[in-house]
Amino acid sequence: MAELSKRILAGGTVTIRVTDGTPEILLVHRPRYDDWTLPKGKLEVGEQLAACAARETVEESAVSVRLGLPVGEISYPISSGIKAVSYWVGHPTAFGKLRPNNEVDTLAWFSVTNALRQTSYADERELIRRAVNLPAATPLVLLRHAKALSRSEWPDAPDVQRPLDERGRIQAKAVMPLLDAYGITRVVSSAAERCARTVRPFAKARGVEVDLREELTEESGVPRPKKVTAALAELARRTAADGVPTVVCGHRPVLPAMFAGVGVEPAALSPASAMVVHLAADATVVAVELHRPLH
């Protein structure tokens, strides 16, 4: 019974491509079980579930994806406990060539009807039905900056220049796979150094500029929250309209105004925590996810 109570976390995707106006579902064949299934795999040490889902999809199928809306979780017993798999919609961004191996020897794209027939598991059929009926949405990630030096450790210079501490630098690197999983290509940040340094490693690795905003700093945003709310409302409309996955990094005291601008309920975010807000084309909120830091 002790073994069965252990939860083994995993991530996967319902990856959908559109061919001649028809949605198709990605399934992989596992020779060990002789089954057809959605791509999925176990969480690695030091990994977040969303990043796991994107990684496992490309590892099992050679199809790179950006994550869309969360689809749901399925759980089932295995020899070492209970495996709990969280799924997202996967939007293909690149197609590699699968090298057959002992885990997955082939993949195929099926129409929705055929995918429902082909997949070996009833709970995955339900995920497919759910995924194809979800609306189109674009992620806007609200990120609290990573851990910074305390104000007492930075007494002789402007607070806006206060940098990350060692833990914060680790957190800034650790958040990169999460942002990658959602396909972030636009990076916006408070002009404060601790915010800029939180997203700069990701932006540099992806070859994009960081759009620094003075109105999002504590010095400006706390006394003028309406400017923050207006800036985030405009960014939400822009993200929804152009479909460009976006991250914006800010400060704890400014987050309430940021939440208000996007139209979501406030949430307590610890340093390097992220709220992923999925926006419909008219900027209405479709779904919200919270991701806590690993370090």
How many beta carbons lie within 10 A of that of residue 68, not counting itself?
Answer: 27
Residues 88 and 200 in one domain: no
Both 257 and 149 in one domain: the answer is: yes
Which pLDDT belongs to residue 151? Answer: 85
* Residue-level pLDDT at 50: 98
- What does the alpha-carbon distance between residue 187 and residue 207 come to, in Å, rounded to a whole number? 11
pLDDT given at position 159: 83
CATH number of the domain that residue 94 is part of: 3.90.79.10
Residue with tokens 């992989």: 28
Same domain, 92 and 204: no
Long-range contacts of 280-287 (CB under 8 A, 24+ apart): 280/135, 280/136, 280/137, 280/240, 281/136, 281/240, 281/241, 282/240, 283/233, 283/236, 283/237, 283/239, 283/240, 283/241, 286/69, 286/134, 286/135, 286/137, 287/69, 287/70, 287/137
Same domain, 93 and 172: no
Distance between CA atoms of residues 153 and 225, nearest Å: 27
Q: Which residues of the chain have pLDDT under 70?
A: 1-4
Domain count, the chain: 2
User: Is residue 106 domain-shared with residue 149, that is, in the same domain?
Assistant: no
Of 100, 132, 164, the position where a domain reaches its end is 132
pLDDT at 3: 52
Q: What is the pLDDT of residue 156?
A: 81
Find residue 3's DSSP bridge partners: none
Query: Among the three residues 132, 150, 183, which one is the final residue of a domain in this structure?
Result: 132
What does pTM read for this prediction? 0.95
For residue 55, the model assigns a pLDDT of 99
Same domain, 197 and 63: no
Residues 72 and 172 in one domain: no
Domain that holds residue 10: 2-132
Nearest to 166 by CA among 153, 178, 156: 153
CA distance 92 to 172: 26
Domain boundary among 132, 151, 170: 132
